[in-house]
Amino acid sequence: MLLPSCEKAARRTALPLHRGPHQDYNAMVINRVGDIEALWQIRRKSDCDAAGQDAIAELRLLQKTLRKQLLDEARPIRLNRKNPAGQGIDFSELDALADDLWAAAA
């Protein structure tokens, strides 16, 4: 998910303000992406195109899973009390833009 890093942008987009790195989350994502890359390294020796397509599919699945967990209403994320974003914001447009960016970068 892409979140604004300054209050002005957070107010303009009505998205939560990103307040810095999250070491455990970042480590988990780095680990999962590393696993996907390791499989790609092995698979590309026999079929480079298929390996690339598989890796992209796995990265998209990881992205979808992480987004689903972050937006899970059963486990809401507690925002900093100074966060300018309101509650109940629909992220579907942002998700679609992120998917478009992801597809364009593939």
Task: Give the pTM.
Answer: 0.60
DSSP H helix total and E strand total for the chain: 4, 0
Torsion from C-alpha of 101, 102, 105, 106, nearest 10 degrees: -150
Amino acid of residue 59: L
**Each residue's pLDDT tens digit, 10-34:** 888 877 777 777 788 889 999 999 9
Query: Is the pLDDT score of 54 beyond 70?
Result: yes
Torsion from C-alpha of 28, 34, 40, 42, nearest 10 degrees: -120
**Each residue's pLDDT tens digit, 55-96:** 999 999 999 988 888 777 787 666 666 666 554 556 667 677
pLDDT at 100: 77
Mean pLDDT, range 31-50, rounded to an integer:
96
Angle between helices 48-70 and 92-105 (to 10 degrees): 160
Cβ contact 55:37 at 8 Å: yes
